[in-house]
Each structure stands twice: as C-alpha cells, then as structure tokens.
Amino acid sequence: MRPLGLMTTPANPLLQPWPEPHGLPPFAAIAPEHYEPALRSAMAEHLAELDAIAADPAPPDFENTALALDLAGRALQRIALLFNNMVAAETSPALQAAEQAVAPLLAGHEARVLQHAGVFARLDDLHGRRRDLGLDVEQVRLVERFHLDYCLAGARLAEPQRNRAAAIAMELAGLCTTFTQNVLADESENGLWLTEGDVAGLPAGLVSAARQAAAQRGRPDGWLITLSRSLVVPFLTQSPRRDLREKAWRLWMDRGRLRTDRDNHQVANKILALRNELAALHGCATYADHALRDTMAATPAAVTALFDRVWRPAVAKALAERQALQTAAAELGEPADIEAWDWRYLAEKVRASRFAIDDAEVKPYFSLERMVQAAFACAQRLFGVSFTEVAGAELYHPDARLFEVHRGGARMGHFISDNFARPTKRGGAWMNEYRYQSVAGGRVLPLVGNHNNFNKPDAGQPALLSLDDVRTLFHEFGHGLHGLLSQSNYQRLACTRVLKDFVELPSQLFEHWAIEPAVLAEHALHAQTGEPMPAALLERVLAARKFGQGLETVEYTLSAYLDMGLHTRTDGGTLDIAAFERQLMADLGVPDGIFGRHRPAHFLHLFSGPDYAAGYYVYMWAELLEADAFEAFTEAGDPFDPVVAERLHRHVYSAGNRHAPGAAFRAFRGRDPDPGAMLRKRGLGG
C-alpha cells in the first residue's frame, strides 16, 4: 500500500506531492474548481483501499487491519483538511459554492467508510482478540478507537438504518454549511458605520481599527465597527454613545437572522430534527445522549450537574457586579436600568475607578509581535520548543506567516500564524491541523495553523492587543502546541484527535502563562519606548481581571445550558427557538442585562458541524481539569518547574489519544482533578 496513496493527475495540483522542506500546499496554483474533482478522486481511492483491506485472505491482525486503516485515505485527508481550512480562513464566492457541493460528498463518504461491512467484520474480529495478541498499549488503543468509531457511526445497525444514517449525515453537512455561510454573510455585509462625530471619545487604537475595517470594505474615508468580536467588544466597552452601543450590540447578537431569506433559526430547526432522528436510529433518547457516548462526561446529567455547581455562585457574583455598575451609571448620568449594551461600558468604568486602569495606558504594552514572542518563549521554557520564521514562504494570504518548529535539534513540524481579521475570514479564533503527525508508514510532521481575528493596525504601526486578546492568542497557541508536540505512531491517535471534553485542556491551561507576572515582566514592553510595564500597573492589571468574572461565567454557562437544552429536546423541527431561549433565561433567573455569549442564530459551535453539538460544555469541563493542572506548578513554587513541565509534556501535550483522558490526567497529576480549583480560579469559592 502506498503510504500517501497519491494519484497523479498533472492538471490538478491537489493530487500532486507537496514538496519538502516544508510540505506546503501549492496555494497559488490551487483554484476552487480543483477541489471537487480532487476529492472525488481521493474518495474513490480511499474506498478502493478499504475494499482491499476487506478482501485480504489473511486472518485479521494488527498490521493488515488496524494499521492498514490508519494508512488508508491519507490523500483524501490531506485535501479535505486543506479545503476546510481555506473555507474558514480565506473564502470567496467560488469557494463557498464549492463548499455547498463538497460538504455533502464528504459526509456521505465518511458514512460509507464507517459503515463498510467488510472492514468492520475484520475490525470486530480483531477487537475481540486484542488482549491476546501481544500488542503494546498504543496498538490496543488504536484498535479500540477504530472499533468505537465504527460502532458510533452505526456499523452494527441493520442495513436500512445504516443507509438512513448516511443520508442524514449528508443532509446535515449541507445544512451546517448553509448555517455557517449565513453567519459569515451577515458578518461581511453588516456593521455599524460611524461618522467623525461618532468616534469622538473613542481610544485612538479603536478609531484606527475602525478606519482599517472601513477601508477593507472599500470606504477608506469612513469608520466601521464590524461584527468581529475583536472590534465590536472594544466598541461596547469604550463608546460613550449609548444609542450607538445599542445598535452595535443588536447587530452583533442578531447575526444569522439579519435577513429573513437566511434566517438561521429555520436552518437550526432542520438540523435539530435530523439530529433527533439520528439519535433515535442509534437507540438514544436524545441527541445529547448520542453525542456524549464517547466523552469523559458520558451523560447529559453529568454535564448539567457541572453547570449547576457553578450557576448560583456565578449569578450571585454578577448581581454584586451589577450593583457596582448601577452606582457608576448614576455618577455618569446613565439610566439605572442597565441593558446588555451598557454592561461592558459601565464595567470598564468601575474597573478603571477601582484599579486605576486605562485601556489606552495598558494596550501599548501588549503588542502582537511581542506577545507572539512571549508565547514562543513560554513554549521554549516549558517544553524546549523553538520557532524560526521561514522567510518568503508562499501561503494563502500575505498576513499569514510560516514558522519551522524544532525540539532537541529535531524538526517537529511547521506552524502557520494568521492573526488579523478580514472580510474573507470567518469570525472567532481557532486552531486547525493542515496535516497530522504520525510515524507508522513513514514519518509525517504536523502542519498546524492558528487563526485569530485581531484588528489590523495602520501601516507602520504595531498591532496592540487587549488582555483578553492576549489570552486568546495563548489559548489557540496551546492548541497549536498540542498538535505540534504530538508523538503518536498512528494518525488516528495523534495531535488533537482526543475526546472533545479533553481537547480544550492544553489550550486553556496555556492561558495561565499569558497572565503570569514573570512572563509579562519580560515581554509586556511598551510598543514605542520598549520600557517594561511598571510593576504597579502590572499588579493593577492582574487584580482587575477578577472583576467581571460574574458576567463572564453567566454568559458562558447560559450558552452551555442553551446547547444542552436544545439537544435534550425531541421536538426539533417545530421548536420556536427564540421562545425557548427566553423561557430558559426566565427559568434560570438570568440577571437583567445579561445574555448568553452566543445566541442560537450564530452559535457556530452548535450548528456549523457536529464537533461541539451537545458539547459546548467542554470549555468548563476542561477548565475543571486545567485549573487543577496549573496548581501543580503553584505547588512546585515555579510556573516553569522542569519536573512538572516534563510530566505535562509526556502525559498531555505529546500524548495525543494514546491513553484514555482520565488516565492521562491521573498520570500527570497523580490523582483525579479537584473541582474546587475551577471555583477558586474564578473567585466563586471552592
């Protein structure tokens, strides 16, 4: 079997080898029309590889079944990963049209792969004998994960049910693509246009970012607050104009419903109905029951119990914060009835008053370039990893940068850093692999990308970040390290291909170093003077972080309740989603002026695909793990303690899915996690 299964069609660059030393896709040569024929060709080859596995006359063993499965479909995987990255990071109308055509094809192919009767028969036989074959721990894990993949996809279902499950998967892929494109369309077509008078009182950096955003939309003489979080949140925080804050907030919250002909509530209802049908085919009462079968949480009840533990203290803290905001509103002449578009503005006033914090004073110490170098330096101190920029690398956009990654003198992979917002890029922040690491079948080095949406500065000026932006940068970089440090033999167990309520542990844990005083003292240098942040200012910045945890926790937990509520119902398809959201908020007693971090019509975690559906809870579940994990460094008395860092590297960042996540955490920490650590971190008791 050819390790990469590459076919040779000179006319299509996607089907050619990607040359070393960097193994980059030939971005400049690839056109949207190349994807569908390349994917069809690679899918056909993948199915032929599976047919060959099933037809092997030799009895099933690890090499001819489990390893063969891991090596099969590499060409398809490579093209599909690239395609999924491009539709998110640098899309176009032609690429979106290709996405509408390709998404159902890929979903249907995955269903055919995971319901291949001949392959499953061999895999099922091998699984039953896995403990008697002298396999090592990682080989056993590979057999178990493949077997579970097939079972969860319906390999044990009767043929009519298997066929229906495959059809549902294809229909869901199309609907999820529509949902995502509707949000992107609303984000790219809408925003709050400002006049010169409207920007009065805003920080210079925000005015500059609004000017850049307007220029990207073809109006260099205007100012635009886009619906990107990195621009609209600073505006809600800084604008003294309550009327404009309300307009910006409503546009931001109503993404996905700004035009009646692309109302995502209708799309979401269709998705929910199909997910309910899929769950029923698998014998599950609700989609949440089905989605949680392969997670640490395991059941909706366990997830809800986690929320319930946090909810009351979070609401109490938010109400206390609200009292402080009302006092500030009275002093500023703002209305006493605090609305959602007032909360961040007044909270910033309270924060500035209590901690003498001025955003204009703080942001110059958080230049993007220095914070990127801070993240690299932390990775070096913790894990011995170095990053060297590759000059002149041809990527998909001029803002993207390529770095070669080394550890102990050995090349570990490549890292793409893509940090600025643009109309052709989806909102939010994310990490994706372009290529997974593996050893078996020939060493493959990972290619990992971090994608943020920070505001691009004027030419010649440094990009300045908020502290929340810095945490986002470190969060995504934590995911990136999880992919780059992987040391698995098999791609199915490599990089971030772990259980979804474990995958956020490496990313959220790495956020701690973003606010570590020693890191900020070394890297938070003024963009103009190069002077370090004064110790007194640093102390105030870190102290100010505690204020606002009530709002932040309630916003997140409400969205997590919404996710679980939608996916534990069985009336998807006919549900009044807006009414459901209102009733949920009333039942929970959400304080006035607070809404969820995500509203249903733009909740991409839920409706852009299956990964976070009935799974938005994973951030809090991972926080339960990472808060306790960082306390290991606190107990050691050093945030870079080499003994703790080595254990963290061995059992978490490099381990992939070689071990069950609970066992991996216990190997690192020496015990199960302490839930109280999360409450202590958030200042909610514990």
| Domain limits, the chain | 13-156, 190-253, 364-544
What pLDDT shows up at residue 2? 35
The proportion of the chain whose per-residue pLDDT surpasses 90, expressed as a percent, equals 88
Structure tokens at 58: 């030799």
What pLDDT shows up at residue 567? 98
Count the Cβ atoms, other than its own, within 10 Å of residue 221: 8
pLDDT tens per residue across span 446-479: 999 999 999 898 888 999 999 999 999 999 999 9
What pLDDT shows up at residue 273? 97
Average pLDDT over residues 109-114: 95
SS3 404: strand
Q: What is the dihedral of CA 461, 467, 469, 473, to 10 degrees?
A: 100
Residue 192, H or E segment: strand 192-194
- Same fold across 13-156 and 364-544: no
pLDDT tens per residue across span 485-527: 999 999 999 999 999 999 999 999 999 999 999 999 999 999 9
| More confident position, 683 or 175 | 175
pLDDT tens per residue across span 189-223: 999 999 999 999 999 889 999 999 999 999 999 99
309 backbone dihedrals φ, ψ, rounded to 5°: -65, -30
Contacts of 59 (CB under 8 A, 6+ apart): 125
Torsional sign, CA 216, 221, 227, 229: positive
CA atoms within 13 A on the CB side of 596: 22
For 470, counting Cβ atoms within 10 Å of its Cβ (0-12 exposed, 13-18 middle, 19+ buried), the class is buried
CB 652 within 8 A of CB 659: no
CA dist 4 and 70 (Å) reads 11
* DSSP characters over 425-494: S-SS-EEEEEE--B-TTS-B--EEEEEEEEPPPPTTS--B--HHHHHHHHHHHHHHHHHHT---SSGGGS
CA atoms within 13 A on the CB side of 499: 25
CB 686 within 8 A of CB 310: no
SS3 294: coil
CA dist 346 and 352 (Å) reads 10
CA dist 446 and 137 (Å) reads 23
Say if residue 336's pLDDT is above 90: no
Average pLDDT over residues 341-352: 93
Count the Cβ atoms, other than its own, within 10 Å of residue 93: 8
CA dist 46 and 621 (Å) reads 36
Contacts of 260 (CB under 8 A, 6+ apart): none
Q: Are strands 385-389 and 401-407 parallel, antiparallel or unpaired?
A: antiparallel
The proportion of the chain whose per-residue pLDDT surpasses 70, expressed as a percent, equals 98
Mean pLDDT across the chain, nearest whole number?
Answer: 94
CA dist 611 and 459 (Å) reads 38
Average pLDDT over residues 237-253: 97
Say if residue 6's pLDDT is above 70: no
CB 686 within 8 A of CB 680: yes
Rounded to 10 deg, the angle between the 93-114 and 32-55 helix axes is: 10
Average pLDDT over residues 130-154: 96
Among 39-53, 301-315, 544-558, the range scoring the smallest mean pLDDT is: 544-558
- Amino acid found at 595: F
What pLDDT shows up at residue 637? 97
CA dist 596 and 581 (Å) reads 9
* DSSP characters over 201-239: TS-HHHHHHHHHHHHHTT-TTSEEE-SSHHHHHHHHHH-
CB 347 within 8 A of CB 551: yes
For the chain, give the number of residues: 686
Q: What is the 3-state secondary structure (H, E, C) of 304-337?
A: HHHHHHHHHHHHHHHHHHHHHHHHHHHHHCCCCC
Name the one residue in this structure whose structure tokens are 């769950």: 279
DSSP bridge pairs for 193: 224
What pLDDT shows up at residue 9? 47
Say if residue 406's pLDDT is above 70: yes
Taking CA atoms, 241 is separated from 63, 195, 198, 228, in Å, by 67, 13, 8, 19
CA dist 311 and 564 (Å) reads 15
Taking CA atoms, 280 is separated from 104, 154, 157, 158, in Å, by 21, 11, 12, 14
Taking CA atoms, 308 is separated from 159, 201, 298, 302, 312, in Å, by 41, 41, 17, 10, 7
Structure tokens at 50: 């599976």
pLDDT bucket at 675, cuts 50 / 70 / 90? confident
What pLDDT shows up at residue 1? 34
Structure tokens at 477: 């970089």
CA dist 608 and 533 (Å) reads 41
pLDDT tens per residue across span 631-645: 999 999 999 999 999
Q: What is the 3-state secondary structure (H, E, C) of 93-155?
A: HHHHHHHHHHHHHHHHHHHHHHCCHHHHHHHHHHHHCHHHCCCCHHHHHHHHHHHHHHHHCCC
CA dist 546 and 371 (Å) reads 22
What pLDDT shows up at residue 686? 59
CB 6 within 8 A of CB 15: yes
Q: What is the dihedral of CA 239, 456, 605, 237, to 10 degrees?
A: -10
CB 108 within 8 A of CB 185: no
CB 16 within 8 A of CB 8: yes
Structure tokens at 143: 């057999």
- Catalytic residues, by residue number, are 476
pLDDT tens per residue across span 47-85: 999 999 999 999 999 999 999 999 999 999 999 999 999
Report angle CA 165, 169, 173 to the nearest 5 degrees.
170
What pLDDT shows up at residue 361? 87
What pLDDT shows up at residue 176? 97
pLDDT tens per residue across span 572-625: 889 999 999 999 999 999 998 999 999 999 999 999 999 999 999 999 999 999
CA dist 386 and 369 (Å) reads 16
Q: Which CATH number fits domain 13-156: 1.20.1050.40, 3.60.110.10, 3.40.50.2300, 3.30.200.20?
A: 1.20.1050.40
CATH class of 364-544: mainly alpha
Average pLDDT over residues 219-239: 93
Say if residue 357's pLDDT is above 90: no
Distance from the Cα of residue 106 to its chain's centroid:
21
pLDDT tens per residue across span 165-191: 999 999 999 999 999 999 999 999 999
Say if residue 28's pLDDT is above 50: yes
pLDDT tens per residue across span 578-589: 999 999 999 999
CB 248 within 8 A of CB 561: no
